[in-house]
Amino acid sequence: MVQQVSLSCRCGHLTGSVTGMSRATTVRASCYCQDCRAYANWLGTPGLMDAAGGSEVFARARSALRLDRGLESLACVRLSAKGLHRWYAACCRTPLCNSLPSIPYVGVLGSALDPNWERDEVGPSQPINTSHTLIPLAPHSKFPLALVLKSLRLMFGWWYRERKLGSVLFDAAGKPTVNPLVLSATERAALRSNPLA
């Protein structure tokens, strides 16, 4: 079933939605990489990760993201000059999504989505980048081939159809609509060394 899911920052100032959420169009994963954890530490907002240090992410086409209120609070940070654009609400430091200028994809953070939405509608969450979990996970595939193939197929489709389109995050030339703050290597290393926000 295809759904539109509401999105909001914690204080409710910035709101929007993600359209077309379904098993066929969405990739759901929990990422345990050190950079996702460093980002949560940088935000300083509690409760963004699970007990093992993972962040739930829902990958969709960038055009599926709508922001309809509180756009003046939209902000962006990069953990390095070549890192992901990590978008958040500056009003309450709620992470919203991750993206790349070259691929019209958006990884929407589960912490920004409607908590009453039935997430299993898009399928189970697959753990990824699990080398640095804080506690052991249940047995899982270290290389989830089905997830990788589905991601590649969807991202190619999004790139083919939407590569020349602008969005709320990037204009048609691929320039971010908000100038990102880029952290130094020292700042990134310090954030990565902190185990849990």
Confidence check: pLDDT of 153 > 90: yes
Q: Given a cut of 70, is residue 195 above it in pLDDT?
A: no
Q: Residues 111-146: pLDDT tens digits?
A: 999 999 999 999 999 999 988 888 888 878 777 888
Structure confidence at residue 87 (pLDDT) = 98
Six-digit token string for 51: 């007990």
Nearest to 49 by CA among 61, 33, 63: 33
Predicted local confidence at residue 140, as pLDDT: 81
Q: In this predicted structure, what is the pLDDT of residue 196?
A: 59
Q: What is the pTM (predicted TM-score) of this model?
A: 0.93
Instruction: Give the pLDDT band (50/70/90) at residue 34.
Output: very high
pLDDT of residue 102: 86
Q: Buried b vs exposed e over 168-190: b needs ≥16 C-beta within 10 Å?
A: bbbeeeeebebebeebeeeebee
CA–CA dist 169, 122 (Å, integer): 24
Instruction: For residue 183, give the nearest of 192, 173, 174 by alpha carbon.
Output: 192
Residue 66 has pLDDT above 90, yes or no: yes
In this structure, the strands spanning 65-69 and 55-61 are unpaired
- The greatest distance separating any two alpha carbons of the chain, rounded to the nearest whole angstrom, comes to 45
When pLDDT is averaged across residues 154-182 and rounded to a whole number, the result is 91
Check pLDDT > 80 for residue 61. Answer: yes
Question: How crowded is residue 24: how many other Cβ atoms within 10 Å of its Cβ?
Answer: 10
Token digits of residue 47: 């409760």
Arithmetic mean of pLDDT over the chain: 92
pLDDT at 46 over 90: no
Is the predicted pLDDT of residue 194 greater than 80, yes or no? no
**What is the chain written as a DSSP string?**
--EEEEEE-TTSSSEEEEEEESTTT-EEEEE--HHHHHHHHHHT-TT-S-TTS-EEEEEEEGGGEEEEE-GGGEEEEESSTTSPEEEEETTTTEEEEEEETTEEEEEEEGGGB-TTS-GGGG-PPEEESGGG-SSPPPS--SS-HHHHHHHHHHHHHHHHHHTT---SSB-TTS-BSSPPEE--HHHHHHHHHS---
